Amino acid sequence: MTESEPTDVDLLAAVARGVVELAATAQSSAFGLPYPPGVQLALDRWVLAALTRGKPPPAGAPELMAWCRKPRVGGWPLALPDDFLFGDACLIHPVADEPTQTCAELGSFGRHGVVEQEAETLLARLYETCGSGERFAKCRDFLIRRPVLLKLDPMELMQPALAQVWNLVKGLYGPVPARFSAGKAVHLCTGCGLLAKPFIKETAWCEGNCPPDRREFVTTHEPRHARVLPFALRLFLALPGRIEQVVHGLLTERAPLLPLGLGVHRAVGPDGVSRLFQCHDREQPGPAALRAAETAALLGAPLDIVVPDRTVERPEYRKRFELALPVGAPVRMVSTTEFTTSGPTGRERTSYA
């Protein structure tokens, strides 16, 4: 396959990048005209591939965006690898009209990936600005705990413990996109700590895709004063960061941070074995496995990917993750409970690839 003949996964990833770009440039309406260059480029590549293969292309950008709202991406005229995506995957949430987690994960796929890579770039710059690993760790924890600031509290941020941290991270925060200010209010989901749209067609939605029993909303009616981290940091740092904090609370030993990419930790488990781990909270096991393999290659060491317990309860998730790993990749996926407890759990029974 040459550069002029992208795979179907490459084509889908290009569409996902276009959707993310469109959301980033839109304010009041997430997916209206005019369409940015990324969408047009994805459409052009799609049409070229369709004509070459004798498949029907979308009639234009609006039809392409309509496809993105439909579930079962696997039903598109694409030949995707088996088990790469779950069958209910879509790129634009049909009710909230926002990029899905699947869209962000696909937008991070391959050498042209941009979303997760943006988060890594922003963290690398922050690390350089901090000048020390300890200071960077404090700043990173601040971002994880506060991806959305509904109201700035100057008195809190001027406290000695936070003043220096806030001075280092405040440039990462920006205004809330106007499309989240429905009814002149901005909503925060306490389940994931991210932005939410709780009253769209009587259907609640949040960026972390929380199950209904974990959704609880906090609201501000002063959207001008609210501040948020970029989409990439909200989804790829703050969302899995909540799992990371749970893991730290359950481990008996301190787990030092290695400032590589999104962050990797070294921990000594209940079995006395030292290991490197990174926390994930992702929808699609295929792209997650490939990104984890890249991280393990950079580390040159085995890597545990720690996921929420509810992730491994989803049928086929672990199996699909393991099938997607490149041969010999020293990566294994474990649940939070498996990683932080000893005994005959799935973690002990599962070897690195």
* DSSP code per residue over 79-140: -PPTTSS-TT--SB-TTT-SB-HHHHHHTT-STT--HHHHHHHHHHHHHHHH-SHHHHHHHH
Q: Which residues pair with 219 in a beta bridge?
A: 187
Q: What is the pLDDT of residue 350?
A: 54
Structure tokens at 68: 């993105």
Q: What is the pLDDT of residue 269?
A: 65
Q: What is the pLDDT of residue 83?
A: 79
Q: Beta 303-307 vs 331-335: how paired, if at all?
A: parallel
The whole-angstrom separation of Cα 330 and Cα 294 is 10
Q: What is the pLDDT of residue 344?
A: 37
Q: What is the pLDDT of residue 170?
A: 95
Q: Which of 99, 100, 97, 102 is CA-nearest to residue 201?
A: 97
Which segments of the chain does DSSP mark as H helices, in order? Answer: 8-25, 37-53, 61-69, 101-106, 115-130, 133-145, 154-157, 160-169, 231-233, 239-250, 285-299, 309-313, 317-324, 336-340, 346-349
* pTM summary value: 0.91
The whole-angstrom separation of Cα 286 and Cα 106 is 10
The whole-angstrom separation of Cα 122 and Cα 133 is 15
Q: Please give the DSSP secondary-structure letter assigned to residue 176.
A: P
Digits of tens for pLDDT over the chain (353 positions)? 445 566 888 889 999 999 999 888 865 555 556 778 888 888 888 888 778 878 778 888 888 888 898 887 655 777 788 778 888 899 999 888 899 999 999 999 988 999 999 999 999 999 999 999 999 999 999 999 999 999 888 888 888 889 999 999 999 999 999 888 866 899 999 999 999 988 665 678 999 988 877 788 999 988 888 999 999 999 999 999 999 999 999 988 889 999 999 999 999 866 677 889 999 999 999 999 999 999 999 999 999 999 999 998 887 999 999 999 999 999 999 999 999 886 434 444 456 66
Spell out a b/e string for 278-310, using b for 16 or more CB atoms within 10 Å of the CB, else e. bbbbbbbbbbbbbbbbebbeebeebbbbbbbee
Q: Please give the DSSP secondary-structure letter assigned to residue 238.
A: I
The whole-angstrom separation of Cα 271 and Cα 151 is 44
Q: How many CB atoms lie within 10 A of CB 166?
A: 18
